[in-house]
Chain A
Amino acid sequence: AQTVTQSQPEMSVQEAETVTLSCTYDTSESNYYLFWYKQPPSRQMILVIRQEAYKQQNATENRFSVNFQKAAKSFSLKISDSQLGDTAMYFCAFMKRDNAGNMLTFGGGTRLMVKP
């Protein structure tokens, strides 16, 4: 079974600054995906960024980038130029990769507050 741990229950950052959210995971699988999802107060879970474990290059999506350390089983999210709209819960999630759909295993979440 997989486990995902987010050690920072809450974080805050000033608008326009950079913040890094931490995530560690444990698995015996060699082929998997890792995700960061954003959940604003509206509750809609929105995909922020995805990393495939076989890819060494870290994924980036505009202001969002990850630091994927496979050997250390670490997957942190960096948000650059933070905006007020980034205020939300952020969840790290693991999915085993095969040809079928697979469940997501989520961490406990980090509440991010962006301050003006």
Chain B
Amino acid sequence: EAGVAQSPRYKIIEKRQSVAFWCNPISGHATLYWYQQILGQGPKLLIQFQNNGVVDDSQLPKDRFSAERLKGVDSTLKIQPAKLEDSAVYLCASSPPGGGEQFFGPGTRLTVL
């Protein structure tokens, strides 16, 4: 069974530029999560999707971050414009119907200069 796929693995941008991350969850997993992990900290949820609907985006900085999961499968997370403090690892995770364990992708390390 293929795991959660993410791309790119690394991205370096200048502040005020835009960036997008892609995630493809495990087949059949209805719930998809995006977490932000700042260096030296635990991951923090940005947004949770159930199929193509948003369940929780209370911690998403909506003035600069957006996310979509149009067909209820893969998802993109966008930052526009990026700030220095957005430097972090962005982790995508998915879980099967009924909840329980979350399976994580390898993450995208973003560096904003």
Contacts and interface: CB of A to CB of B under 8 A. Distances in A.
Interface of A: 4, 33, 35, 37, 42-47, 50, 91, 93, 95, 97-104, 106-109
B44 A101 contact: no
Given A44-B106, A101-B99, A106 B48 contact: no
Nearest to A42: B106
A51 B35 CA distance: 22
A43 B106 contact: yes
Closest 4 CB pairs of A and B: A106-B42, A101-B31, A45-B104, A103-B45
Contacts of B103: 47
Contact of B56 (A4, A37, A42, A103): A103
Interface string B25-40: 0000011010100001
B101 interface: yes
B20 interface: no
Interface of B, helix, strand, loop or mixed by DSSP: strand
Contacts of A35: 101
Interface residues of B, number: 29
A103 B33 contact: yes
B109 A104 contact: no
B31 A106 contact: no
Contact of A104 (B41, B55, B102, B105): B102
8 contacts: A42-B106, A43-B89, A43-B109, A46-B104, A47-B101, A91-B42, A104-B33, A107-B42
Contacts of B101: 35, 47, 50
Contacts of A4: 42
A104 B89 contact: no
B41 A108 contact: yes
A103 B43 CA distance: 11
Given A43-B89, A106-B43, A109-B42, A98 B107 contact: no
A43 B107 contact: yes
Contacts of A47: 101, 103
Contacts of A45: 43, 91, 93, 104, 107
